[in-house]
């Protein structure tokens, strides 16, 4: 049967000098689309030359080679590429400059990287790279096209294991038959998970979740319709006056990214402590911000630093705002809500599909918090990823309210905003909240009409952000900080649709 291929997209990816043409194809014999990467092919003679150079470098520069095997330093990579280039020109004179660059990069990838996977890792449109075993093709998750089957395979199980061991060395960890699981974060922010056979029954696995070099901002999410300006204005106002919130959602719904885009709305005169398992939150560089990371125990079971350890320690650091990457355990939730009860503003993510499920998870085993602590949380934002289209949206923004039912108080969620899938719009469900507006009036001293005018003002600023494409973390953060410190000056420019450069925002 003839296989028909339809070209959907094409672009180039550059990895340490190797230029690879990427084609996205729809093939008649595949259930998923195909990611085809054109990679340099070496003949036996060229492979022998690279093997000889490798042997010479190990013999002549053992310390530098050892350092490279344990480091991701860009300067060391450049030094290595220069050394290989000189060796190549001595052994194989007459190649083009491109030829020398590509061969040097290929040897770098083979010795200290992930081989051909380095090309995939250099593609900014990919979110995930997955090796399931040596018998299956590598799969990738494309930001635009979802899961794609690639034309790349890792030919042996030992090679996959070697990649995992190399990654483990660079983060000071081990993966062995006795410790067959690896969960690590690389210096560039990529999250790596690896498993060894027979824990993974079909073979060794490697999963690289790529870190976005330019983090999402509120402008990006408004443009993509993940959020709406009235919704963001409401959250901005709540955060300005120190109300707390939880971002919830299912797997890969974008919880952490959503939490991150709200962080620039914290006033610049307040101290922020972030606590995470992996370093994913990126705040404006000029904010008063301390980032804390948990640490897993070493091979002897020592040196562990847990989320609870960091939470307890953060309360001694006089924080104004505490941000937790994800609530997982009862102790984490207890400490976080105790901080909330003592007057701290807290923000966190929690795995649940809806706001109502958040309440149930917090009140039920194994977390099992008292009603009075859970009721102190102000808002729940639900992130949602539609399975059919892959589009990410805020499903609902809800407040927590208390109701007297049969003589006892029950906690319920009251949706203030909801996503309408038919129209793909996020709409305000009620004009007045049952709880938040009373809190805002108390904390801010504003009247109902002043609160409404404040929301309209923030809505105007957000639309101006989008219109002028102010879309880096520092730019958005600088705008928010200017709003707090030079509001009149900012609003004059916004109202006249002026150039952001007048405030030196860019």
pLDDT tens column, 173-194 = 889 988 899 988 877 778 899 9
Give the helix, strand, coil percentages of the chain, each rounded to 5.
40, 25, 35
Q: Look at 36 and 434; give whichever has higher pLDDT.
A: 36
Domain boundary pick from 112, 146, 161: 112
Task: Give the whole-angstrom CA distance, residue 213 versus residue 394.
Answer: 23
* Whole-number CA gyration radius for the chain: 26
Q: For all residues of the chain together, what is the average pLDDT?
A: 89
Does residue 72 carry a pLDDT above 70?
no
Residue 357 lies in a domain: yes
Residues 49 and 174 in one domain: no
Residues 494 and 397 in one domain: yes
Residue 279 lies in a domain: no
Task: Give the whole-angstrom CA distance, residue 68 versus residue 76.
Answer: 7
pLDDT of residue 71: 65
Residues 169 and 50 in one domain: no
Helix intervals (H) in 189-262: 218-223, 229-240, 255-262
Residues 226 and 199 in one domain: no
Per-residue exposure over 491-504, b if at least 16 CB sit within 10 Å of its own CB, e if not: eebbeeeeebeebe
Domain boundary pick from 60, 77, 112: 112
pLDDT of residue 28: 87
pLDDT tens column, 76-104 = 778 788 888 888 887 878 777 778 888 88
User: Which of 25-29, 241-245, 369-373 ranks highest by mean pLDDT?
Assistant: 241-245
Domain boundary pick from 112, 137, 165: 112
Report phi then psi at 372, rounded to 5: -65, -30
Residues 127 and 173 in one domain: yes
pLDDT of residue 506: 47
pLDDT of residue 174: 86
Residues 124 and 67 in one domain: no
**Contact in structure between 431 and 446 (CB atoms under 8 Å):** no
Residues 496 and 421 in one domain: yes
Tokens 């030919």, residue located: 155
* DSSP state at residue 305: B
Does residue 73 carry a pLDDT above 70?
no
Task: Give the whole-angstrom CA distance, residue 460 versus residue 229.
Answer: 8
187-195, long-range: CB < 8 A, 24+ apart: 187/72, 188/72, 189/279, 189/280, 190/121, 191/278, 192/167, 194/163, 194/164, 194/167, 194/168
- What angle is formed at CA 251 by the lines to CA 276 and CA 377, rounded to 5 degrees? 60
pLDDT tens column, 309-344 = 999 999 999 999 999 988 888 888 988 898 898 889
Q: Give the residue from 236, 235, 228, 258 showing the smallest Cα distance to 426.
A: 228
pLDDT tens column, 46-64 = 888 888 888 888 887 787 7
Please give the residue range of the domain that contains residue 371.
218-269+332-342+350-503
Residue 361 lies in a domain: yes
Q: Look at 405 and 89; give whichever has higher pLDDT.
A: 89
Q: Give the residue from 255, 254, 483, 442 showing the smallest Cα distance to 347.
A: 255
Identify the band that residue 413 occupies on the pLDDT scale cut at 50, 70 and 90.
very high
Retrieve residue 438's tokens.
């009373």
Which residues have C-beta within 8 Å of that of residue 461, sequence separation ≥ 6? Answer: 479, 483, 490, 491, 494
pLDDT tens column, 5-48 = 899 999 999 998 889 999 999 998 888 899 999 988 887 888 88
Predicted TM-score of the model (pTM): 0.82
Residue 304 lies in a domain: no
- Percent of the chain residues past pLDDT 90, beyond the cut: 55
Residues 31 and 85 in one domain: no
Task: Give the whole-angstrom CA distance, residue 506 versus residue 496.
Answer: 18
Characterize the bridge pairing of strands 126-131 and 205-209. Answer: antiparallel
pLDDT of residue 490: 92
Total domain count, the chain? 3
pLDDT tens column, 268-315 = 999 999 999 888 899 999 999 999 998 888 767 788 898 889 999 999
Characterize the bridge pairing of strands 205-209 and 191-195. Answer: antiparallel
């Amino acid at each position: 049967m003839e296989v028909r291929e339809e070209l959907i997209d094409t672009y180039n990816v550059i990895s340490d000098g190797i230029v690879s043409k990427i084609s996205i194809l729809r093939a008649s014999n595949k259930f998923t689309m195909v990611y085809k990467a054109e990679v340099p092919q070496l003949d036996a003679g060229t492979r022998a030359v690279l093997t000889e150079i490798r042997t010479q470098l190990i013999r002549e520069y053992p310390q530098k080679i050892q350092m490279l095997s344990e480091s991701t330093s860009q300067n060391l990579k450049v030094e290595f590429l220069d050394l290989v280039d000189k060796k190549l020109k001595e052994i194989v004179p007459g190649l083009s400059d491109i030829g020398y660059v590509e061969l040097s990069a290929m040897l770098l990838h083979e010795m200290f990287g992930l081989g051909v996977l380095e090309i995939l890792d250099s593609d900014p449109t990919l979110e995930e790279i997955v090796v399931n075993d040596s018998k299956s093709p590598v799969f990738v998750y494309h930001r635009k096209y979802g899961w794609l089957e690639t034309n790349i395979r890792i030919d042996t199980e030992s090679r996959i294991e070697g990649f995992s061991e190399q990654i483990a060395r660079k983060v000071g960890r081990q993966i062995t038959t006795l410790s067959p699981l690896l969960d690590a974060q690389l210096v560039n922010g990529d999250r790596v998970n690896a498993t060894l056979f027979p824990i993974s029954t079909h073979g060794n696995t490697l999963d690289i979740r790529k870190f976005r070099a330019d983090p999402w901002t509120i402008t990006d999410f408004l443009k993509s319709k993940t959020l709406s300006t009235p919704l963001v204005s409401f959250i901005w106002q709540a955060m300005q006056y120190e109300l707390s919130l939880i971002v919830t959602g299912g797997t890969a719904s974008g919880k952490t990214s959503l939490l991150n885009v709200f962080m620039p709305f914290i006033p610049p005169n307040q101290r922020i402590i972030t606590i995470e398992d992996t370093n994913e939150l990126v705040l404006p560089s000029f904010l008063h911000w301390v980032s804390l990371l948990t640490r897993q125990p070493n091979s002897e079971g020592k040196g562990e630093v847990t989320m609870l350890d960091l939470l307890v320690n953060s309360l001694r650091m006089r924080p104004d705002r505490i941000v937790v990457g994800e609530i997982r355990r009862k102790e984490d939730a207890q400490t976080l809500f105790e901080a909330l009860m003592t007057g701290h503003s807290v923000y966190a993510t929690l795995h649940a599909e809806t706001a109502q499920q958040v309440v149930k998870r917090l009140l039920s085993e194994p977390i099992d918090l008292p009603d009075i602590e859970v009721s102190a949380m102000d808002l729940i934002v639900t992130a949602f990823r539609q399975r059919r289209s892959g589009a990410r949206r805020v499903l609902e923004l809800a407040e927590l309210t208390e109701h007297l039912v049969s003589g006892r108080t029950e906690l319920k969620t009251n949706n203030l905003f909801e996503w309408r899938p038919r129209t793909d719009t996020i709409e305000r469900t009620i004009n007045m909240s049952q709880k938040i507006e009373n809190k805002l009036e108390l904390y801010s001293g504003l009247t109902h009409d002043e609160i409404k005018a404040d929301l309209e003002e923030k809505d105007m600023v957000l639309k101006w952000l989008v219109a002028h494409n102010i879309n880096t973390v520092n730019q958005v953060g600088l705008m928010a900080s200017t709003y707090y410190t030079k509001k009149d000056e900012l609003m004059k420019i916004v109202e006249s649709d002026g150039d952001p450069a007048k405030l030196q925002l860019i």
